[in-house]
Structure 1
Amino acid sequence: MNFETLKSIMLLILICFSLLLTVGLWNYQPSNDFIEDENLLEETTIGGKEAKMSSLIAPSQFVFHKNGEHYSFKNGKDRENTYKVMKEWTLFNVHPKDNQVVPEESRMMEVIFPTNIPAQAIKNLFNFGDQDFTPPVGEFKRIFFTFNDNGGVDVFFKPESEDATAFGASLRSENIYRLEELLAVDEGLREQVMFIGDGEKRIFLPETEVTVHSLIMDTTPLPITPLKNTLFEDPSIVRNFPAPRAEQRLTDGLGNLEVTEGWKRMIFTELLLGESSPQIAMSSFEVLERSISFINAHQGWTDTFRVGNLSASNTSVTYLMYQKDLPVLASDDQIHTIEINYQNGEEERYARPLVSLEPSINESEGTHPLPSGKSIIAFIQESRLYNIKLIEDIKIGYKLVGQSGGYGGYSLIPAWFVLENGSWKEITGSTEGKGGLSSAVGSN
């Protein structure tokens, strides 16, 4: 065989191979794995729920004032049920008013919220029938229901700050009997003692020792892909880059998503937001409304969360996790809060847990005794660890402590907490007598 014949044979083989490759490409069908990846790219929900504003704003306490004594519900379920009833009450004659001192009536109901709530939110919390009115400008943290000389009930919405705008309303006569019933009942109530530090703080604590349930919680991981698809404008250009203090770092150059705390928490940050544009102010109601819509868009309410702190000055909102009708105020991996900060009307920072919690089927419920409110007040007043002027609240809540063994579970442990200068801290130290405290001071 001469050289020219050999070249012809090799050329024929190459032509045949090229034809086979072309036919193969024409008839190629994507694999199931590739289709699954495309579906993942389109996912924008993480398997939680959507929520309404009325379910995310809830009182932390009902206080019934009776002839100089103060009472609150023993059971958190009673508080939840009373709030459901209260939201069905009809208000009228809503009007702004000069802020005034707390009513000093012998019989009244005080409803306390964990943070100042914008006045515009009252349409989501009460019934107004067919009234057409514009909610007043202002905010409130407490609502007082008092009886007037005409047999009616006055409703006073009071903010925490003495110089802030307050407003009032009246309660429809058909709802007054239910308020009378609440004030007449003694069953299911616990007497309260009021904390008085630098002036009257109006912080009510149970007078006697309290026993609270503890629990073992299991975790279920949440998918990161739907969050990537939601938070980045073009998920297809997002790349994974190593980060020194994160399990994963995703970025497109404009936004940054870091997965931290052993894949249990994420923090998304817009890197260039507002650098060249004028500042846009947001009211606390706009922050609240915008944040709820933002989280609803990816069904991000994976556990029970409620407004814990709302700030117009910082254009931020923090939602606290609730378990067994109590707030979770501390956790080992910072998985008990959802936080959103705004800049120029856009989400600048979004931090949330990447796990959801549920009671473990392998562990039974237990109980945990806690000191009385009287003991807590005495301890705070005698201790040098706290600045009385900076204390904003004192309450019982849960802390989530990681279980040993590495399976991802948590112990849900009740404890006393103090809100000092905007930060919740567990009250620990030492007291004498039954239900005393022990350990050392820590903050969440």
Structure 2
Amino acid sequence: MGLKYIEPIKSIILLLLVLLSATFTFSIWTYTPRLDPIEPSSTVDISIGERKDVKDIIKPYKLLIKYDGMLKGTTNSSEIDNVLNEMSRWKVSQLVTNSTEMNKEQMKTFFQQPNQFTLYFQGLVPLPVYDDIVPIEDSVIPQFSFDRIVVRWNPREIAFDIHFINQASGLHYSGKVTPVDTDTMTSYRAIVLGGENFSEYAEVNSQESTYIAVPVKPVHMIRSTYYQEELSPTRFRDALFNDPNAVRRSQVNATHEEFGDDHALLTVNTQSKMLNFVHPAAESREPTLPSDLLYDVIESINEHGGWTDTFRFSYINAYSHYVRFQLFNNGYPVFSDVAGTTEIVQFFGENRVFRYIRPYYTLEVIFSEEMDLPAGTEIANALSKSDKLDFGAVEDITVGYMMRHDLEKRIFVMEPAWYYLMKTKWQRYSPEQSGGEHIGLE
């Protein structure tokens, strides 16, 4: 073969290689493999504790019923629930606002009127949310928050009026009550006549501008000891992180550990049994309605069955997207000498939780004993004589529990005690101090 044929042959081979390369490239671009469809990953249904309805979470801590010449009251959960069950069969209509703000003296006079009962709430309850408890017929429910409900009856007509009162602002809405079965006498017997069996109460600060009434006899309470049961923090990890499998676990020190991914962090205090979850990207400073915020927070806790013990709504701040729930035991609020350990706190952000702080212990009773606390009138008298506080600044007095955590024995002890509310904080009455021990509730 002559040299004159080498160059044409090389050109032909190069052309064939180019064509072959183009063919392979085209095949790769256009090839679609036959693969079985990928099934979407199933979400794990996490239920740590219970789901709760709004009516189980928003409850009054006290009920006073004022007759003509007689004052009765109760903090007993069963007795209050009986009244609320009757009210749930009502229809409230014709809501109107009182355009004049009541000052403290006017409000005190309002609460002193006969033929009415008053429900006391720890926090300001958004009226649209309370529609789930006492149905409101009006097509538009005002964005108004209250911490007292006053229901008045007319003995001559057996008719009810209802008042939703905001003590801080002095504003209130009033409406008409119609029982669903139109038998007003049934409600009258269940609430008004039934209330005659409640404990005897007395007004205690007649010289001051705030209306306070307390039991005149010693209060029967239960002192309980609970074993320190725990819920595994990994269950909260699975409930709160988008992908639990991507979460990294690390031991910070002897009492702290962390769970985290690229978006969120869960800090666990193994000594106080507290969790602190934060998802920074979810933070929101957009305005929100108190009713929407409260619904969102309750639903977010319901999603993972986060009601591990009896918690009740106690505070809301729509501007900071903040909601708090207080632990209750035997129907009474529970406080602690370690801040936050008897509360569930949540900041709700952009369509999800921004920050979530709560205990992960549960209460398993192992021992109980009965005891009596002094009469409320005795406590009020002692507070009025104390030189360490201004009795005129006291807003209310009630019974509750001080929870103490014995780390060595791994137990919780619920000590019954009297508490007084002053400057939005509940403080435990201590005879030794002739005043009180601050336990902190903003």
**Alignment TM-score, normalising by the size of structure 2:** 0.78
- Other-structure match for 1:105: 113
- Other-structure match for 2:166: 159
User: Does the CA contact (< 8 Å) of 2:68 and 2:114 recur in 1?
Assistant: yes
Distance between the aligned counterparts of 2:251 and 2:407, measured in 1?
Answer: 28
Match of residue 376, structure 1, among 376, 379, 391: 379
Query: Which deviations, in whole Å up to 9, do the C-alpha atoms of 1:176-223 show, x marking residues without a partner?
Result: 442345323465422223353895333322122222111121232112
Greater Cα shift, 313-322 or 142-151: 142-151
Distance between the aligned counterparts of 1:420 and 1:103, measured in 2?
Answer: 19
Q: Structure 2 vs 1, CA of residues 249 and 44 (structure 1 numbering), >3 Å: closer, same or farther?
A: farther
Distance between the aligned counterparts of 2:45 and 2:425, measured in 1?
Answer: 33
- Other-structure match for 1:319: 325
Secondary structure at the aligned position of 2:335 is classed as strand
CA drift of 1:237 comes to 3.0
Distance between the aligned counterparts of 1:356 and 1:415, measured in 2?
Answer: 22
Secondary structure at the aligned position of 1:267 is classed as strand
Letter of the structure 1 residue corresponding to residue 300 of structure 2: F
Secondary structure at the aligned position of 1:196 is classed as coil
Question: Identity of counterpart residues, as a percentage?
Answer: 19
Distance between the aligned counterparts of 1:268 and 1:74, measured in 2?
Answer: 34
Q: Structure 2 vs 1, CA of residues 392 and 132 (structure 1 numbering), >3 Å: closer, same or farther?
A: closer
Match of residue 178, structure 2, among 155, 165, 171: 171
User: Does the CA contact (< 8 Å) of 1:110 and 1:145 recur in 2?
Assistant: yes
Q: Structure 2 vs 1, CA of residues 387 and 315 (structure 1 numbering), >3 Å: closer, same or farther?
A: farther
Query: Which deviations, in whole Å up to 9, do the C-alpha atoms of 1:87-130 show, x marking residues without a partner?
Result: 222323333343554265321111222221111023211145xx
Distance between the aligned counterparts of 2:308 and 2:166, measured in 1?
Answer: 31
Distance between the aligned counterparts of 2:407 and 2:330, measured in 1?
Answer: 23
User: Does the CA contact (< 8 Å) of 1:197 and 1:389 recur in 2?
Assistant: no
User: Does the CA contact (< 8 Å) of 1:56 and 1:305 recur in 2?
Assistant: yes
Greater Cα shift, 239-248 or 345-354: 239-248
Greater Cα shift, 77-86 or 52-61: 77-86
Secondary structure at the aligned position of 1:179 is classed as helix
Q: Structure 2 vs 1, CA of residues 391 and 410 (structure 1 numbering), >3 Å: closer, same or farther?
A: same
Distance between the aligned counterparts of 1:77 and 1:414, measured in 2?
Answer: 19
Q: Structure 2 vs 1, CA of residues 165 and 89 (structure 1 numbering), >3 Å: closer, same or farther?
A: closer
CA drift of 1:382 comes to 2.7
Secondary structure at the aligned position of 1:367 is classed as strand
Q: Structure 2 vs 1, CA of residues 405 and 260 (structure 1 numbering), >3 Å: closer, same or farther?
A: closer
CA drift of 1:415 comes to 0.6
Distance between the aligned counterparts of 1:103 and 1:442, measured in 2?
Answer: 28
Distance between the aligned counterparts of 1:142 and 1:54, measured in 2?
Answer: 16
Number of paired residues?
A: 390
Distance between the aligned counterparts of 1:353 and 1:222, measured in 2?
Answer: 9
- Other-structure match for 2:420: 418
1:220 lines up with 2:229 in the alignment: yes
Distance between the aligned counterparts of 2:172 and 2:163, measured in 1?
Answer: 12
Letter of the structure 2 residue corresponding to residue 212 of structure 1: M
Greater Cα shift, 146-155 or 82-91: 146-155
Distance between the aligned counterparts of 2:111 and 2:325, measured in 1?
Answer: 30
Q: Structure 2 vs 1, CA of residues 151 and 273 (structure 1 numbering), >3 Å: closer, same or farther?
A: closer
1:118 lines up with 2:126 in the alignment: yes
Q: Structure 2 vs 1, CA of residues 430 and 322 (structure 1 numbering), >3 Å: closer, same or farther?
A: same
Letter of the structure 2 residue corresponding to residue 292 of structure 1: I
Distance between the aligned counterparts of 1:396 and 1:125, measured in 2?
Answer: 25
Letter of the structure 1 residue corresponding to residue 48 of structure 2: G
Query: Any gaps of 5 or more consecutive residues in structure 1?
Result: 1-38, 432-436
CA drift of 1:261 comes to 4.7
Q: What is the CA RMSD across the aligned residues, in angstroms?
A: 3.0
- Other-structure match for 1:206: 215
Query: Which deviations, in whole Å up to 9, do the C-alpha atoms of 1:359-411 show, x marking residues without a partner?
Result: 22xx3x312221221222122223244354654432111122224643x2212
Ranges of 4+ aligned residues in structure 1 off by more than 4 Å: 41-44, 148-151, 331-334, 343-346, 387-390
Q: Structure 2 vs 1, CA of residues 68 and 109 (structure 1 numbering), >3 Å: closer, same or farther?
A: same
Q: Structure 2 vs 1, CA of residues 405 and 228 (structure 1 numbering), >3 Å: closer, same or farther?
A: closer
Distance between the aligned counterparts of 2:91 and 2:224, measured in 1?
Answer: 39
Distance between the aligned counterparts of 1:429 and 1:346, measured in 2?
Answer: 45
Query: Which deviations, in whole Å up to 9, do the C-alpha atoms of 1:57-98 show, x marking residues without a partner?
Result: 111111110124321137432222222222222323333343
- Other-structure match for 2:347: 341
Secondary structure at the aligned position of 1:200 is classed as coil
Letter of the structure 2 residue corresponding to residue 110 of structure 1: T
Greater Cα shift, 198-207 or 61-70: 198-207
1:194 lines up with 2:203 in the alignment: yes
Greater Cα shift, 323-332 or 175-184: 175-184
CA drift of 1:295 comes to 0.4
Query: Which deviations, in whole Å up to 9, do the C-alpha atoms of 1:262-300 show, x marking residues without a partner?
Result: 2611111233544xx7x3112221221011110011111
Greater Cα shift, 179-188 or 116-125: 179-188
User: Does the CA contact (< 8 Å) of 2:426 and 2:438 recur in 1?
Assistant: no
Distance between the aligned counterparts of 1:391 and 1:284, measured in 2?
Answer: 27
Secondary structure at the aligned position of 1:202 is classed as coil
Q: Structure 2 vs 1, CA of residues 168 and 232 (structure 1 numbering), >3 Å: closer, same or farther?
A: same
Letter of the structure 1 residue corresponding to residue 266 of structure 2: L
Greater Cα shift, 147-156 or 117-126: 147-156
1:396 lines up with 2:390 in the alignment: no
Q: Structure 2 vs 1, CA of residues 286 and 198 (structure 1 numbering), >3 Å: closer, same or farther?
A: farther
- Other-structure match for 2:26: none
Secondary structure at the aligned position of 2:60 is classed as coil
Distance between the aligned counterparts of 1:197 and 1:267, measured in 2?
Answer: 45
